[in-house]
Amino acid sequence: MKRRNFIQQGAFASSALLMPAVLISEVANKKTYSGQPFKLNYAFHDGMFKNSAGKDFTDQIRYGFDQGFRAIEDNGMMDRLPGDQEKIGNLLTKLNMSMGVFVHAFDHWPVSTSLCSGNAEWRDKFLKYTREAIDVSKRCTGKLITVVPGNYDRTIPFDYQTTHVIEALKPAAEILEPHQIVMVLEPLSDTPDLFLRHSSQAYAICKAVNSPSCKILFDIYHMQRNEGDLIKGIDRGYEEISYYQIGDNPGRNEPGTGEVNYKNIFKHLFNKGYKGMLGMEHGNSIPGKEGEAALITAYREADSF
Protein backbone atom coordinates (compact mmCIF):
# COMPACT_ATOMS: atom_id res chain seq x y z
CA MET A 1 0.00 0.00 0.00
CA LYS A 2 2.76 2.49 1.09
CA ARG A 3 0.24 5.28 1.50
CA ARG A 4 2.76 7.40 3.40
CA ASN A 5 5.01 7.46 0.35
CA PHE A 6 2.34 9.35 -1.59
CA ILE A 7 4.13 11.75 -3.94
CA GLN A 8 2.70 15.10 -2.95
CA GLN A 9 3.68 16.88 -6.13
CA GLY A 10 1.96 14.34 -8.37
CA ALA A 11 2.56 14.59 -12.10
CA PHE A 12 3.34 18.31 -12.00
CA ALA A 13 5.98 18.31 -14.70
CA SER A 14 3.72 17.57 -17.66
CA SER A 15 0.96 19.82 -16.34
CA ALA A 16 3.34 22.75 -15.95
CA LEU A 17 4.36 22.42 -19.58
CA LEU A 18 0.73 22.69 -20.64
CA MET A 19 -0.03 25.77 -18.52
CA PRO A 20 0.33 29.07 -20.40
CA ALA A 21 3.22 31.18 -19.13
CA VAL A 22 0.96 34.21 -18.69
CA LEU A 23 -1.31 32.21 -16.37
CA ILE A 24 1.62 30.97 -14.31
CA SER A 25 2.83 34.57 -13.98
CA GLU A 26 -0.65 35.75 -12.99
CA VAL A 27 -0.96 33.06 -10.32
CA ALA A 28 2.53 33.81 -9.00
CA ASN A 29 1.59 37.44 -8.45
CA LYS A 30 -1.35 36.47 -6.23
CA LYS A 31 0.74 36.27 -3.06
CA THR A 32 -2.03 36.91 -0.57
CA TYR A 33 -5.64 35.92 -0.21
CA SER A 34 -8.37 37.32 1.97
CA GLY A 35 -8.33 34.36 4.33
CA GLN A 36 -12.09 34.07 4.04
CA PRO A 37 -13.08 30.49 4.96
CA PHE A 38 -14.34 28.29 2.15
CA LYS A 39 -17.95 27.14 1.97
CA LEU A 40 -16.82 23.56 2.55
CA ASN A 41 -14.11 22.40 4.94
CA TYR A 42 -11.14 21.33 2.80
CA ALA A 43 -8.26 19.64 4.67
CA PHE A 44 -4.71 20.01 3.32
CA HIS A 45 -1.74 17.78 4.15
CA ASP A 46 1.90 18.14 5.10
CA GLY A 47 4.02 19.35 2.18
CA MET A 48 1.20 20.97 0.23
CA PHE A 49 2.40 24.50 1.11
CA LYS A 50 6.05 23.80 1.93
CA ASN A 51 7.42 26.24 -0.66
CA SER A 52 5.33 29.10 0.69
CA ALA A 53 5.53 28.34 4.40
CA GLY A 54 8.59 26.12 4.92
CA LYS A 55 9.06 22.46 5.76
CA ASP A 56 7.67 22.64 9.31
CA PHE A 57 4.10 21.37 9.20
CA THR A 58 2.97 23.78 11.91
CA ASP A 59 4.15 26.70 9.78
CA GLN A 60 2.21 25.25 6.85
CA ILE A 61 -0.86 24.99 9.07
CA ARG A 62 -0.62 28.68 9.96
CA TYR A 63 -0.16 29.54 6.30
CA GLY A 64 -3.13 27.42 5.27
CA PHE A 65 -5.27 29.09 7.91
CA ASP A 66 -4.34 32.50 6.49
CA GLN A 67 -5.51 31.30 3.07
CA GLY A 68 -8.92 30.32 4.41
CA PHE A 69 -8.46 26.60 5.10
CA ARG A 70 -9.83 25.33 8.39
CA ALA A 71 -8.73 21.67 8.46
CA ILE A 72 -5.79 19.35 7.84
CA GLU A 73 -5.33 15.64 7.36
CA ASP A 74 -2.21 13.62 8.01
CA ASN A 75 -1.93 10.01 6.85
CA GLY A 76 1.28 9.46 8.81
CA MET A 77 0.17 10.94 12.14
CA MET A 78 0.64 7.61 13.97
CA ASP A 79 4.30 7.64 12.86
CA ARG A 80 5.01 11.04 14.41
CA LEU A 81 6.55 11.39 17.85
CA PRO A 82 3.97 11.92 20.60
CA GLY A 83 5.33 15.42 21.24
CA ASP A 84 4.86 16.36 17.60
CA GLN A 85 1.32 14.94 17.60
CA GLU A 86 0.51 17.06 20.62
CA LYS A 87 2.13 20.15 19.12
CA ILE A 88 -0.04 19.84 16.02
CA GLY A 89 -3.15 19.21 18.09
CA ASN A 90 -2.51 22.23 20.30
CA LEU A 91 -2.07 24.48 17.27
CA LEU A 92 -5.28 23.20 15.68
CA THR A 93 -7.14 23.90 18.91
CA LYS A 94 -5.67 27.41 19.12
CA LEU A 95 -6.70 28.19 15.52
CA ASN A 96 -10.07 26.44 15.89
CA MET A 97 -9.16 24.11 13.03
CA SER A 98 -10.22 20.50 12.54
CA MET A 99 -8.10 17.38 12.19
CA GLY A 100 -9.14 15.04 9.40
CA VAL A 101 -8.09 11.44 8.86
CA PHE A 102 -4.92 9.72 9.90
CA VAL A 103 -4.16 6.20 8.71
CA HIS A 104 -4.46 3.16 10.97
CA ALA A 105 -1.00 1.69 11.56
CA PHE A 106 -2.29 -1.65 10.27
CA ASP A 107 -1.64 -0.09 6.86
CA HIS A 108 2.12 -0.49 7.48
CA TRP A 109 1.93 -4.21 7.02
CA PRO A 110 3.08 -5.89 3.81
CA VAL A 111 0.41 -5.97 1.12
CA SER A 112 0.06 -9.73 1.54
CA THR A 113 -1.45 -9.20 5.00
CA SER A 114 -5.18 -8.85 5.20
CA LEU A 115 -8.17 -8.94 7.52
CA CYS A 116 -9.89 -10.95 4.80
CA SER A 117 -8.19 -14.19 5.77
CA GLY A 118 -9.64 -14.43 9.26
CA ASN A 119 -6.13 -14.94 10.64
CA ALA A 120 -6.33 -14.43 14.42
CA GLU A 121 -2.81 -13.02 14.69
CA TRP A 122 -3.50 -10.27 12.16
CA ARG A 123 -6.84 -9.48 13.78
CA ASP A 124 -5.15 -9.17 17.19
CA LYS A 125 -2.54 -6.80 15.73
CA PHE A 126 -5.30 -4.77 14.15
CA LEU A 127 -7.02 -4.40 17.52
CA LYS A 128 -3.70 -3.56 19.20
CA TYR A 129 -3.09 -0.69 16.78
CA THR A 130 -6.70 0.40 17.19
CA ARG A 131 -6.11 0.85 20.93
CA GLU A 132 -2.90 2.78 20.24
CA ALA A 133 -4.82 5.07 17.89
CA ILE A 134 -6.90 6.31 20.82
CA ASP A 135 -3.88 8.01 22.42
CA VAL A 136 -2.85 9.45 19.05
CA SER A 137 -6.37 10.81 18.64
CA LYS A 138 -6.24 12.54 22.01
CA ARG A 139 -2.95 14.22 21.21
CA CYS A 140 -3.73 15.42 17.67
CA THR A 141 -7.50 15.99 18.20
CA GLY A 142 -8.30 13.68 15.25
CA LYS A 143 -11.43 11.54 15.42
CA LEU A 144 -11.22 9.79 12.04
CA ILE A 145 -8.98 6.82 11.22
CA THR A 146 -8.57 5.47 7.69
CA VAL A 147 -8.83 1.68 7.55
CA VAL A 148 -8.02 -0.52 4.54
CA PRO A 149 -8.80 -4.22 5.14
CA GLY A 150 -6.00 -5.43 2.87
CA ASN A 151 -5.67 -7.69 -0.15
CA TYR A 152 -8.16 -10.11 -1.64
CA ASP A 153 -7.40 -13.70 -0.64
CA ARG A 154 -7.87 -15.92 -3.67
CA THR A 155 -7.90 -19.05 -1.52
CA ILE A 156 -11.12 -18.05 0.25
CA PRO A 157 -14.58 -17.43 -1.27
CA PHE A 158 -15.54 -13.76 -1.34
CA ASP A 159 -18.44 -13.95 1.14
CA TYR A 160 -16.27 -15.63 3.76
CA GLN A 161 -13.69 -12.86 3.36
CA THR A 162 -16.40 -10.26 3.85
CA THR A 163 -17.47 -12.02 7.04
CA HIS A 164 -13.88 -12.07 8.30
CA VAL A 165 -13.57 -8.33 7.72
CA ILE A 166 -16.83 -7.65 9.55
CA GLU A 167 -15.75 -9.85 12.48
CA ALA A 168 -12.50 -7.86 12.77
CA LEU A 169 -14.19 -4.47 12.53
CA LYS A 170 -16.91 -5.12 15.14
CA PRO A 171 -14.57 -5.38 18.18
CA ALA A 172 -12.51 -2.47 16.83
CA ALA A 173 -15.66 -0.34 16.69
CA GLU A 174 -16.50 -1.33 20.26
CA ILE A 175 -13.05 -0.13 21.35
CA LEU A 176 -13.49 3.23 19.61
CA GLU A 177 -17.13 4.00 20.35
CA PRO A 178 -16.61 5.30 23.93
CA HIS A 179 -14.06 7.79 22.54
CA GLN A 180 -16.29 8.91 19.65
CA ILE A 181 -13.58 7.90 17.19
CA VAL A 182 -14.64 6.68 13.76
CA MET A 183 -12.93 4.17 11.49
CA VAL A 184 -13.57 5.17 7.88
CA LEU A 185 -13.26 2.30 5.40
CA GLU A 186 -11.66 3.41 2.15
CA PRO A 187 -12.32 1.63 -1.16
CA LEU A 188 -9.24 2.10 -3.35
CA SER A 189 -8.29 1.85 -7.03
CA ASP A 190 -4.53 1.36 -6.68
CA THR A 191 -4.57 -2.33 -7.58
CA PRO A 192 -7.22 -4.97 -8.34
CA ASP A 193 -5.61 -7.10 -5.63
CA LEU A 194 -7.28 -4.97 -2.97
CA PHE A 195 -10.34 -6.45 -1.29
CA LEU A 196 -12.24 -3.20 -0.81
CA ARG A 197 -12.76 -1.40 -4.12
CA HIS A 198 -16.35 -0.16 -4.31
CA SER A 199 -18.51 2.19 -2.27
CA SER A 200 -21.44 -0.26 -2.33
CA GLN A 201 -19.19 -2.91 -0.79
CA ALA A 202 -18.12 -0.54 1.99
CA TYR A 203 -21.75 0.42 2.55
CA ALA A 204 -22.78 -3.22 3.07
CA ILE A 205 -19.92 -3.80 5.52
CA CYS A 206 -20.79 -0.69 7.55
CA LYS A 207 -24.43 -1.78 7.74
CA ALA A 208 -23.32 -5.19 9.01
CA VAL A 209 -20.96 -3.74 11.64
CA ASN A 210 -23.77 -1.39 12.66
CA SER A 211 -21.72 1.08 14.67
CA PRO A 212 -21.26 4.87 14.65
CA SER A 213 -17.54 4.09 14.77
CA CYS A 214 -17.48 2.31 11.40
CA LYS A 215 -18.26 4.46 8.36
CA ILE A 216 -17.07 5.12 4.79
CA LEU A 217 -14.29 7.29 3.40
CA PHE A 218 -15.52 8.20 -0.09
CA ASP A 219 -12.38 9.12 -2.05
CA ILE A 220 -13.68 10.85 -5.17
CA TYR A 221 -10.49 10.15 -7.14
CA HIS A 222 -10.61 6.42 -6.46
CA MET A 223 -14.35 6.15 -7.01
CA GLN A 224 -14.09 8.00 -10.34
CA ARG A 225 -11.59 5.38 -11.46
CA ASN A 226 -13.44 2.36 -10.07
CA GLU A 227 -17.11 3.14 -10.64
CA GLY A 228 -17.87 6.68 -11.84
CA ASP A 229 -21.44 8.03 -11.46
CA LEU A 230 -20.09 9.99 -8.51
CA ILE A 231 -23.08 12.03 -7.38
CA LYS A 232 -25.37 9.01 -7.45
CA GLY A 233 -22.76 7.02 -5.54
CA ILE A 234 -22.59 9.77 -2.93
CA ASP A 235 -26.37 9.83 -2.60
CA ARG A 236 -26.70 6.07 -2.28
CA GLY A 237 -24.15 5.79 0.49
CA TYR A 238 -24.56 9.21 2.08
CA GLU A 239 -25.87 8.06 5.46
CA GLU A 240 -22.77 5.89 5.95
CA ILE A 241 -20.17 8.34 4.59
CA SER A 242 -18.25 10.32 7.21
CA TYR A 243 -15.40 11.72 5.12
CA TYR A 244 -14.54 12.57 1.53
CA GLN A 245 -11.19 12.91 -0.21
CA ILE A 246 -10.35 14.88 -3.31
CA GLY A 247 -8.12 14.35 -6.33
CA ASP A 248 -8.80 14.98 -10.00
CA ASN A 249 -8.40 12.19 -12.54
CA PRO A 250 -6.17 11.58 -14.41
CA GLY A 251 -3.12 12.88 -12.53
CA ARG A 252 -4.44 12.96 -8.95
CA ASN A 253 -3.94 16.68 -8.59
CA GLU A 254 -6.11 19.66 -7.58
CA PRO A 255 -9.64 20.25 -8.93
CA GLY A 256 -9.71 21.57 -12.47
CA THR A 257 -6.74 19.54 -13.71
CA GLY A 258 -8.75 16.51 -14.84
CA GLU A 259 -12.17 15.27 -15.84
CA VAL A 260 -14.13 15.52 -12.57
CA ASN A 261 -16.58 18.42 -12.25
CA TYR A 262 -15.66 19.29 -8.68
CA LYS A 263 -17.69 22.49 -8.56
CA ASN A 264 -20.86 20.46 -9.13
CA ILE A 265 -19.85 17.83 -6.59
CA PHE A 266 -19.00 20.43 -3.94
CA LYS A 267 -22.28 22.24 -4.61
CA HIS A 268 -24.16 18.96 -4.28
CA LEU A 269 -22.55 18.18 -0.93
CA PHE A 270 -23.17 21.71 0.31
CA ASN A 271 -26.83 21.52 -0.66
CA LYS A 272 -27.17 18.18 1.11
CA GLY A 273 -25.96 19.90 4.28
CA TYR A 274 -22.62 18.12 4.58
CA LYS A 275 -20.68 19.70 7.47
CA GLY A 276 -17.67 17.40 7.57
CA MET A 277 -14.22 17.64 6.03
CA LEU A 278 -12.91 16.89 2.55
CA GLY A 279 -9.31 15.75 2.52
CA MET A 280 -7.02 17.15 -0.18
CA GLU A 281 -5.21 13.87 -0.79
CA HIS A 282 -3.56 14.83 -4.05
CA GLY A 283 -0.48 16.49 -5.48
CA ASN A 284 0.13 19.96 -6.89
CA SER A 285 0.03 20.07 -10.69
CA ILE A 286 2.66 22.86 -10.84
CA PRO A 287 5.87 22.95 -8.76
CA GLY A 288 6.98 25.62 -6.33
CA LYS A 289 5.18 28.62 -4.91
CA GLU A 290 3.43 29.19 -8.23
CA GLY A 291 1.87 25.76 -7.98
CA GLU A 292 0.72 26.34 -4.41
CA ALA A 293 -0.90 29.61 -5.40
CA ALA A 294 -2.52 27.89 -8.37
CA LEU A 295 -3.87 25.19 -6.07
CA ILE A 296 -5.52 27.77 -3.82
CA THR A 297 -6.98 29.50 -6.87
CA ALA A 298 -8.34 26.15 -8.08
CA TYR A 299 -10.10 25.59 -4.76
CA ARG A 300 -11.51 29.13 -4.75
CA GLU A 301 -12.92 28.45 -8.22
CA ALA A 302 -14.37 25.01 -7.35
CA ASP A 303 -15.84 26.46 -4.15
CA SER A 304 -17.51 29.39 -5.97
CA PHE A 305 -20.84 27.66 -6.60
Q: Write the CA distances from 267 to 39, 149, 261, 272, integer angstroms.
A: 9, 31, 10, 9
Same domain for 89 and 218, yes or no, is yes
User: Model pTM?
Assistant: 0.89
Same domain for 68 and 110, yes or no, is no
Q: Report helix, strand or coil for 169.
A: helix
Same domain for 144 and 196, yes or no, is yes
Q: For residue 33, what pLDDT is reported?
A: 47
pLDDT tens, residue order, the chain (305 aa): 455 444 344 433 334 434 443 344 344 444 444 689 999 999 999 999 999 999 999 999 999 999 999 999 999 999 999 999 999 999 999 999 999 999 999 877 666 678 999 999 999 999 999 999 999 999 999 999 999 999 999 999 999 999 999 999 999 999 999 999 999 999 999 999 999 999 999 999 999 999 999 999 999 999 999 999 999 999 999 999 999 999 999 999 999 999 999 999 999 999 999 999 999 999 999 999 999 999 999 999 999 99
Domain closes at, from 202, 228, 254: 228
Same domain for 40 and 91, yes or no, is no
Q: Report helix, strand or coil for 145.
A: strand
Same domain for 215 and 295, yes or no, is no
Question: Backbone phi, then psi, for 282, in 5-degree steps?
Answer: -155, 175
Same domain for 2 and 129, yes or no, is no
Same domain for 89 and 63, yes or no, is no
Same domain for 109 and 203, yes or no, is yes
Across the strands, what pairs with 184? Answer: 146, 215
The answer to whether 286 and 19 have CB atoms below 8 angstroms apart is yes
- Residue 241: inside a domain, yes or no? no
Residue 185: which domain range?
A: 75-228
Number of domains in the chain: 2
Across the strands, what pairs with 65? Answer: none
The answer to whether 287 and 255 have CB atoms below 8 angstroms apart is no
Q: Look up the CATH number of the domain holding residue 160.
A: 3.20.20.150
Same domain for 85 and 179, yes or no, is yes
Instruction: Kindly give the pairing relationship between strand 71-72 and strand 41-44.
Output: parallel
